[in-house]
Amino acid sequence: MNNNFCIACGTKFYNLEKFCPNCGVKRLTDSSNTETNIIKLPSVELPESYKALKTKLLYLIKSDGFCFLVADISDYYIQFVKDSGYLHYEVISSAYNSKITQQMDIEVEALGYKLDSDPNRKNRYKTTEDLSETSIDAIVREAYYIFRHIYKISDSEFFSFEQEDNNKRLNSDIMKDAQETSSGKTIFFIVIAVILVIAYCTGSNKNEYTNNSPAENETVNLNNFSGRQFTFKSTLYDKEVDGTTVSTRHEVTYHTFDFINMTVTQKSPLNGKWVTITYSINDVYQEKGMLATTYVIKVGTLGVQEIWFSPDVPNLGYDYDDGSRIAFYKITKE
């Protein structure tokens, strides 16, 4: 453990001081058990976004079984996994965000965050078995210190949450600066336009999928898909609100459309585990555009209204009850 920096203000220790010469917080020692004990930081009034994070966490720890919460803010995130009576949480590091310096990593490490033993995972993490409200409050305050004082994120920024518990997915509290929203929306539509033109000109993507899709002029009903089962792999997805992309992630996910058992199954990785969510298919219809046909599956459960896929682009996505959308790109058929 690196204890050469103050856990509260980041001031460097040059001698054998037991207390920070800047803020007076006690210096950690090598014997400090920081994996299961939360560092107590000076009490401050939390911004509304962090109060929302605390509410989400308190809900998470009361949920049964394996569940997780991802909180994105600006270009950073912290994610939590609750399983078998413990809470595992990790923050993004310089390995995944060029805005984060090695010095910032050191300051996070000084708070007791450790590197994963898996060399492919570069984030720093902590684990605790203390799931009390007092512990959760301390975790949120620690997160606030990291994002505000180490990563220099403004209090005016808001979290975007992804939460799964008992196969229920919630997306809420997403806010962005107006200028970033306008810019993101413009880029999003430019990219989509380019993809559609390429698909129209080449026709190669369409030919790859038509064996498993109804003919263009068919009226879609469940009988058209009877006995069919196919899986798509995606390596990129966007989170969208009101048609605006608010975040993008490069992550492998699998989506199986099973018209034998009438289900759609989404499989995503999280902390070395695969999280699987299964939705029941209620109905299917199609939307025909000038350059592409989209097949839409009515779900209406687990927070999802519809699941759609467009072989012509190709892409697929999930439309949620709160009006948000997750759109998956770089699709290949498995």
Residue 5 lies in a domain: no
Whether residues 280 and 214 share a domain: the answer is yes
Angle at 11 between CA 6 and CA 14, to 5 degrees: 95
The highest-confidence range among 14-28, 76-90, 168-182, by mean pLDDT, is: 76-90
pLDDT at residue 10, rounded to an integer: 65
Residue 194 lies in a domain: yes
Whether residues 120 and 214 share a domain: the answer is no
Whether residues 67 and 125 share a domain: the answer is yes
Residue 35 lies in a domain: no
Last residue of a domain, one of 124, 140, 172: 172
Long-range CB pairs of 164-167, under 8 A, 24+ apart, other chains included: 164/67, 164/68, 164/69, 164/275, 164/277, 165/59, 165/60, 165/63, 165/64, 165/65, 165/67, 165/68, 166/63, 166/64, 166/65, 166/67, 167/277, 167/278, 167/302
Per the structure, the count of domains in the chain is: 2
Strand order, beta sheet including 324-329: 244-249, 236-241, 324-329, 315-320, 304-310, 293-301, 283-288
Whether residues 161 and 215 share a domain: the answer is no
Whole-number Å distance between alpha carbons of 111 and 172: 29
Name which of 17-21, 66-70, 137-141 the model is least confident about.
17-21
Whether residues 92 and 161 share a domain: the answer is yes
Last residue of a domain, one of 172, 206, 231: 172
User: Bigger pLDDT: 179 or 84?
Assistant: 84
CATH for 84: 3.30.1460
pLDDT at residue 316, rounded to an integer: 93
pLDDT tens for 269-321 read 876 678 888 898 888 888 877 667 888 999 887 788 999 988 877 889 999 98
Whether residues 53 and 138 share a domain: the answer is yes
pLDDT tens for 211-266 read 344 444 344 555 566 678 889 999 888 888 887 888 888 888 999 999 888 899 99
Residue 27 lies in a domain: no
Whether residues 287 and 208 share a domain: the answer is yes
Whether residues 139 and 235 share a domain: the answer is no
pLDDT at residue 86, rounded to an integer: 83
Residue 36 lies in a domain: no
Last residue of a domain, one of 145, 172, 199: 172
Whether residues 250 and 307 share a domain: the answer is yes
Residue 96 lies in a domain: yes
Residue 112 lies in a domain: yes
User: Bigger pLDDT: 85 or 40?
Assistant: 85
Please enumerate in sequence order all residues whose Cβ is within 8 A of that of 181, keeping only pairs 6 or more positions apart, or say none: 244, 246
Name which of 19-23, 96-100, 255-259 the model is least confident about.
19-23
Give mean pLDDT, residues 169-197.
Answer: 44
Provide the residue range defining the domain that includes 122: 48-172
Whether residues 137 and 209 share a domain: the answer is no
pLDDT at residue 219, rounded to an integer: 44
Whether residues 208 and 275 share a domain: the answer is yes
Whether residues 325 and 197 share a domain: the answer is yes
Residue 182 lies in a domain: no
Residue 87: how many CB atoms within 10 A of its CB? 21
pLDDT at residue 271, rounded to an integer: 62
Whole-number Å distance between alpha carbons of 63 and 320: 21
